Amino acid sequence: MWRIKQIFDGDYGCEELQLGQKPKVSVTLVDDAGNEKFVSVEDEWLTENGLDVGSEWPKEEM
């Protein structure tokens, strides 16, 4: 099982988004053995799915 270890918002307004593009965040996932994986997803998607640090990562998004 993968859990969200950290969410990093690297967008500080330095670069403008393209038309229709949504802000993304980098997410660090960790499994029970301590292995880490990094993914980039839309911030809005995390919010819509109620995901935050400590949340279990949805299997279908692997």
The whole-number pLDDT of residue 12 equals 55
Contact yes or no for 39/54 (Cβ under 8 A): no
Query: How many domains does the structure of the chain reveal?
Result: 1
Compute the distance between CA of residue 14 and CA of residue 3 in angstroms, rounded to an integer.
30
The whole-number pLDDT of residue 37 equals 96
Domain annotation covers residue 42: yes
The whole-number pLDDT of residue 20 equals 80
Collect the ranges in the chain with pLDDT lower than 70.
10-15, 61-62
The whole-number pLDDT of residue 18 equals 77
Name the residue range of residue 45's domain: 1-9+23-56
The whole-number pLDDT of residue 28 equals 97
Closest CA to 4 of 59, 43, 57: 57
Domain annotation covers residue 50: yes
